[in-house]
Amino acid sequence: MSGIIGKKIGMTSIYDANGKNIPCTVIEAGPCVVTQVKTPETDGYNALQLGFEDQKESRVNKPSMGHFKKAGAAPKKKLAEFRDFEGEHNLGDAITVDIFAEGEFVDVAGTSKGKGFQGVVKRHNFRGVGDATHGQHNRMRAPGSIGAASYPARVFKGMRMAGQMGNKRVKVTNLQVMKVFPEKNLLVVKGAIPGPKNSYVIVDK
């Protein structure tokens, strides 16, 4: 499946033909360099490894430097693999935002914003328990009961409780491509995508 590595620039909005305001995300998509070509003969499957955004040579170890020199490319900060990439590609080839067209749909994967340790109201949209009256003073955002007593005498797996929120890989599917700006390597997709500004994302066709 064809795709590209990008960076979330931020959000904006555009108007469609009917004058409706549509929220959109701007992604700096590529250019990416083919740093490895995987084939069924050598690796057991077809895939392309792409690299995005140049890295200082002093920050790259020797094995990685050899990997990039073999591809004839400068060291890259972000690498990602795309299986069954459309078309024939060789080491060092450039993949640009031109592989996308306005109107088609893409999937975007990234790492969501980390929220730290959060309670059940924020993390799982609990409404809070009990009434504000009858002497209650500190249980408004508590989770309530998490299980029965002597039977089953345990808490079931998957119980929604307080804990770490965010900072996980999230994929948003079926986002429409609204605009493509090849001269600036920009891709504008409808809706929101995971992660903060300047975070890396993977855009799949």
Condensed to tens digits (0 to 9), the pLDDT of residues 80-137 reads: 999 988 878 888 889 999 999 999 999 999 999 999 999 999 999 998 776 777 777 7
As a whole number of angstroms, the distance between CA 8 and CA 60 comes to 24
With residues binned 3-state (H G I as helix, E B as strand, rest as coil), the percentages for the chain, rounded to 5, are 10, 40, 50
What one-letter code names the amino acid at 152?
Answer: P
Q: Categorize the per-residue pLDDT at 174 as very low, low, confident or very high, splitting at 50, 70 and 90.
A: very high
CATH match for 3-116+169-204 among 3.30.450.20, 3.40.605.10, 1.10.10.10, 2.40.30.10: 2.40.30.10
What one-letter code names the amino acid at 3?
Answer: G
Condensed to tens digits (0 to 9), the pLDDT of residues 18-48 reads: 999 999 999 999 799 999 999 999 889 999 9
The domains of the chain are located at 3-116+169-204, 117-165
